[in-house]
Structure 1
Amino acid sequence: MASATELSLVFSSLASLGKHRFLSPATLPERISFKFCHGVSASICKYKSPAFDHSKPSSIRGFRLTKSVELDNFLTSDDEDEMGEGFSEAIEELERMTREPSDILEEMNDRLSARELQLVLVYFSQEGRDSWCALEVFDWLRKENRVDEETMELMVSIMCGWVKKLIQEGHHVGDVIDLLVDMDCVGLRPGFSMTEKVISLYWEMGERERGIMFVEEVLRRGIAYTEDGKEGHKGGPTGYLAWKMMAEGEYRSAVRLVVRLREFGLKPDVYSYLIAMTAVVKELNEFAKALRKLKGFAMARVIAELDFEDVKLIEKYQSDLIADGVRLSKWVIEEGGPSLHGIVHERLLAMYICAGRGIEAERQLWEMKLVGKEADRDLYDIVLAICASQKEASAMARLLAKMEVASSFQKKKSLSWLLRGYIKGGHYNDAVETVMKMLKLGFCPEHLDRVAVLQGLRKRIHQLGNVETYLKFCKCLSDANLIEPCHVYLYMKRYKLWVVKLL
């Protein structure tokens, strides 16, 4: 993914120009919002038809360049020594603006070196100059096939400088987009997405609301964000901004961004829906972690138990997230191709697992299988555990049927997950049966799992007074040499006696 820091790489790459140093990107003229494309010919911007303004005054009237110190910020003394009379004459002619820049450059083509043409670009990109002329010069260079790698890097750095200055000075996002359109008009296509660079600049400058406005305007105008016919960043500007939000843990904001733009009829890229679905999964996962901590604090009596209203709010927040995820999945299926269906069901599966919804998760396993995307075996076990905790008998039967043809190692893993699901749901009779089944098949349950079952059974004795299952389980573990023969002390309430039973 692109970041704004990569802009510095563009500027530093100008060191490849050898001894000629460009110490800073060009700064933006004050009148950029209406100058760009005003003088650019109709052949450049086909959606505009401006006439060249012969009466347009020079931005610095009376300027005469003869090795001027005006370029000190960009040039070395060696550069000035290399500038010939053709360079000075070209600057003066372009400053007068009595003819089309392309006509002037065509006439002086043989008298200007590649280096001098680069310096013309630098000159007119400076603040106070007619910056639209730099675009005209670049467009002419492109048409004459005189844009080499160094010239492209130079013009990209100039454009990046203009964009950055627009954002820093608080210009309307429309001005920034106009600049990107102008860049495309003159055929300036860098090897990265300028749209993503602009989003990064807004984000890193703390202008997040304007960054969102920028994305909205890009979608509203239908600005292209692919380079040379190749697919750009999957998700387009919407997906990239959502990814930036996710990178800082703002998962809910990322989801709301994509949903809101789609509901406004702005048609984000289909991949942005998948990015938003990933944000839903991450938010549900973080929410589940926070909820577990909250319940732990309540059990430790650090905080009060959750009341009915709290539980309702928790359920509503989770349900709203899932509803957003389902809505996004429908948009992907409607607007994307069949190749994305497997990814959609995969995201939905992750959502339902994080939310602890066994039936819905199990359905997504089979949906994935139907579209030819087999889920990982571990995911079947996780869903099995969720269904076991909720005693979803039908779903469990279908999932356990798959286990019958599995290897011994996989069977042990599946039964272990089944056991943990029963423990989590408090179904200790079923947990005891599962342990006994594992021992019968020659599988040894994990020590912590056995301890959890014993603790759960002891807790139930105190609550219900039923000891039969506890005794049965202890006898089973003793026979398997998993515990030492022991005395079990039972308090008989009816007779107020302690009874000792040897296992």
Structure 2
Amino acid sequence: MAVAHGFASLIEMGFLSTSSCSFPRYVVPQFNLSSLEFRSRVWNRICKDQNPRFLVPKRSRIGEFRLFGLVELDPILTSDDEDEMGEGFFEAIEELESMAREPADVLEDMNERLSVRELQLVLVYFSQEGRDSWCALEVFEWLRKENRVDKETMELMVSLMCGWVRKLIEGESAIGDVVDLLVEMDCVGLKPSFSMIEKVISLYWEMGVKERAIMFVKEVLERGISYSVDDGEGHKGGPTGYLAWKMMVEGNYRGAVKLVIDFRKFGLKPEVYSYLIAMTAVVKELNEFSKALRKLKGFVKNGLVAELDVENVRLTQKYQSELVEDGICLSNWVIQEGSSVLSVVVHERLLTIYICAGRGLEAERQLWEMKLLGKDADRELYDIVLAICASQKEASAVARLVTRVDVTSSIRRKKTLSWLLRGYIKGAHFEDASKTILKMLDLGLCPEYLDRAAVLQGLRKGIQQSGNVEPYLNLCKRLYEENLIGPCLLYMYINRVHVW
């Protein structure tokens, strides 16, 4: 069914006003038609451009409406509707169209003569192209005041309004016009749902005019447009959060972070959940950044590219630091504006950010903050933070985190000590790594072969630099006793040392 071009014409003529809830009118000429001719004209107008699939046997209710269905009412019109329309219906159409009296007065006089279905068709009629579309809003407002808006009528009106919104967007009308329509919906008690705002953003996005989607959300925030919440899931954070989520889906993580922060700094008020979504974008960007650095190091190792100079190293560190600072800024806003329930979520996000950035001490602090709030992090997260602290040789943090090992099972203990061992290996702290292997052997745990080999290789290189052979010999001796190393290998290195 065609949607009201007349509404678009109103906007172009400057009749749309958001300063009040009174709806502009324009006069439709009266026609001196016979009763039969008038009935035919009204019915043809209602059925204009209707998909034939709607002319099916009448059902008891309107099917679940879909936003932006261009008023496909599944089915509001049926093959036997015309026969059911009484004289009151056609009289109401004629008098409303003549505009001799206010719609509320007309409907008040005919209240008892119009059925729910007839009132629904009045809405459909005045939403058609070339009709007084705003009359439909006035009719709906009267229905709401008279408590005659049931679920079907509400779905019908929302579907009509969504069709108007879609026409505005596809017709490249000004963004302010789209927002004006949302305001007028609120004025008649038809509070826009978040689904409608979400669809507006999606439609702009799919049309490739992403800047208009950003401008739309910005104007929604500036004008404080309220909307109903369909469920308790946060709707990807409301308009700002949903827009940031759309950016994240396309991999524009940095853009999503910048969007939320810029809105907040420009004096707008994004939804609290949008800050959490932006923190997730920070995590994803840090992950992508780390992957890129690892790939670059691989190219350097294989001689495909030159090593980064001092300035480039500084720039990479600066970029990572700025991302972390953005995450901290967003977390502060959540704590300031959100409920205490979100505190745990904030610390979880911060923990992930610090882990991705390789900041051991800050990550450890988030673990204890979560514990104080009654939310203990997964054991794997403790192990990862332990490895980071070990790689940075943060002895105090390692000591605090390792205390948990004594109260765990042997399998869990081996996993934790293996993370500790690999942290030392990554940080090139091979003597500490050797002590960790010895501790594991004392506990009856067998370190992985690759871990043992890496530590032995690191200790051998240390001998050449410091001349200290004790850590290497002690580890070899213990590994031999545990049948984890061959005697010929031990003998060879003893001879090397003896020659020196």
TM over 0.5: yes
Correspondence 1:361 to 2:363: yes
Partner residue, 1:436? 438
CA contact (8 A) 1:36 1:132 kept: no
Q: 1:406 to 1:123 in 2, by over 3 A?
A: same
Cα distance in structure 2, aligned partners of 1:287 and 1:281? 10
Which amino acid in 1 is paired with 2:8? E
CA contact (8 A) 2:193 2:227 kept: no
Match of 2:154 among 152, 155, 158: 152
**Matching of residues 330-341 of structure 1 within 5 Å:** 330-341=332-343
Partner residue, 2:388? 386
Q: 1:366 to 1:285 in 2, by over 3 A?
A: same
- Tell me, what secondary structure is at the counterpart of 1:29? helix
Correspondence 1:57 to 2:24: no
Instruction: Describe the superposition over 1:43-90 as per-residue Cα deviations: whole angstroms up to 9, x where unpaired.
Output: xx9x6264876xx421x6648633233333235664444444333322
Instruction: Describe the superposition over 1:103-123 as per-residue Cα deviations: whole angstroms up to 9, x where unpaired.
Output: 112222233332222222111
Of Structure 1 and Structure 2, the greater helix share is in 2
Cα distance in structure 2, aligned partners of 1:377 and 1:363? 15
CA contact (8 A) 1:278 1:347 kept: yes
Q: 1:250 to 1:392 in 2, by over 3 A?
A: same
Cα distance in structure 2, aligned partners of 1:468 and 1:109? 101
Partner residue, 2:87? 85
Q: Percent identity?
A: 67
Cα distance in structure 2, aligned partners of 1:89 and 1:28? 22
Partner residue, 2:316? 314
Partner residue, 1:495? none
State TM-score, norm by structure 2. Answer: 0.84
Q: 1:499 to 1:450 in 2, by over 3 A?
A: closer
Cα distance in structure 1, aligned partners of 2:233 and 2:482? 62
CA contact (8 A) 2:4 2:130 kept: no
Correspondence 1:73 to 2:49: yes
- Tell me, what secondary structure is at the counterpart of 2:228? coil
Instruction: Describe the superposition over 1:150-179 as per-residue Cα deviations: whole angstroms up to 9, x where unpaired.
Output: 222221111111111111112222111111
Partner residue, 2:429? 427
**Matching of residues 336-347 of structure 1 within 5 Å:** 336-347=338-349
Cα distance in structure 2, aligned partners of 1:379 and 1:37? 60
Match of 2:235 among 233, 236, 242: 233
Cα distance in structure 1, aligned partners of 2:231 and 2:416? 48
State TM-score, norm by structure 1. Answer: 0.84
Segments of structure 2 that go 5 or more residues without pairing to the other structure are 51-76
- Tell me, what secondary structure is at the counterpart of 2:407? coil
**Matching of residues 76-225 of structure 1 within 5 Å:** 78-189=80-191, 193-225=195-227
CA contact (8 A) 1:118 1:151 kept: yes
Q: 1:216 to 1:306 in 2, by over 3 A?
A: same
Cα distance in structure 2, aligned partners of 1:97 and 1:116? 19
Which amino acid in 1 is paired with 2:40? K
CA contact (8 A) 2:254 2:282 kept: yes
Instruction: Describe the superposition over 1:14-66 as per-residue Cα deviations: whole angstroms up to 9, x where unpaired.
Output: xxxxxxxxx56666632243789969xxxxx9x6264876xx421x6648633
Instruction: Describe the superposition over 1:385-414 as per-residue Cα deviations: whole angstroms up to 9, x where unpaired.
Output: 001101111211222233333333332222
**C-alpha RMSD of the superposition:** 3.0
Match of 2:20 among 30, 38, 48: 48
Which amino acid in 2 is paired with 1:48? S
Cα distance in structure 2, aligned partners of 1:89 and 1:102? 14
Partner residue, 1:6? none
Correspondence 1:31 to 2:31: no
Deviates more, 1:283-292 or 1:329-338: 329-338
**Matching of residues 240-259 of structure 1 within 5 Å:** 240-259=242-261
Cα distance in structure 2, aligned partners of 1:36 and 1:228? 33
